[in-house]
Amino acid sequence: MTDQAPKRPAEPWRQRLIRTLLYGRNVDRSAKARARVGLAIIAFSLVYAVIAGRLVMFAVGGDGHGTRRTASQDAIATARPDILDRNGMILATDVKTPSLFGEPRRIIDKDEAIELLTATLPDVDAGEVRDRLSSRKGFVWLKREITAQQQKDIYRLGIPGIGFLRENKRVYPSGPIVSHLIGHVNIDNQGIAGIEKWLDSNGLADLHRAGFATDRQQEPVQLAVDLRVEHALRDELLKAKDKYSAKAAAGLVSNVNTGEIIAMVSVPDYDPNNPREANDPTRINRLTTGVFEMGSTFKSLTLAMALDSGRATINTLYDARAPLVYGKFRINDTHNLGRSVPMWEVFTESSNVASARIALSMGVEAHKAFLRKLGQLSRLRTELPESAEPLVPKRWSELNTITIAFGHGMAVAPLQAVMGINALINGGYLIPPTFLKRSREDAMQVAKQVVKPETSNSMRYLMRLNAEKGTARKADVKGYYVGGKTGTSEKVVNGRYSKKQVLNSFTAIMPADNPQYQLLIMLDEPKGLPETHGFITSGWNAVPTGGKVIERIAPLLGMTPRFDLPPSERLILAASKESR
Residues tagged active-site: 296
Cβ atoms 154, 117 nearer than 8 A: yes
| Residue 108 main-chain phi, psi, to 5 deg | -80, -50
Q: Which residues contact 410 (CB under 8 A, 6 or more apart)?
A: 293, 298, 376, 390, 391, 392, 393, 400, 403, 404
- Cβ neighbours of 1 (radius 10 Å): 3
Q: How many residues does the chain have?
A: 580
Q: Using CA atoms in the order 438, 442, 447, 451, what is the torsion angle rounded to 10 degrees?
A: 80
Burial of 82 (0-12, 13-18, 19+ CB in 10 A): middle
Cβ atoms 543, 475 nearer than 8 A: yes
Q: Which residues contact 464 (CB under 8 A, 6 or more apart)?
A: 481, 482, 483, 512, 513, 568, 571, 572
Angle formed at CA 441 by CA 436 and CA 444, multiple of 5 degrees: 90
Query: Is the Cα torsion angle 319, 325, 326, 331 positive or negative in sign?
Result: positive
Nearest to 91, CA basis, from 223, 215, 282, 277: 223
| Residue 321 main-chain phi, psi, to 5 deg | -70, -30
Task: Please compute, for residue 404, the number of CA atoms within 13 A of its CA located in the half-sphere on the CB side.
Answer: 27
**DSSP track, 148-175:** HHHHHHHHHH--TTEEEEEEEEEE-TTG
Q: What is the DSSP letter of 569?
A: I
- Cβ neighbours of 538 (radius 10 Å): 33
- The string over 471-508, giving b where at least 16 C-beta atoms fall within 10 Å of a residue's C-beta and e elsewhere, is bbbbbbbebbbbbbbbbbbbbeeeeeeeeeebbbbbbb
Residue 401, SS3 per DSSP: helix
- The amino acid that residue 431 corresponds to is I
| Residue 498: its H or E element | strand 496-510
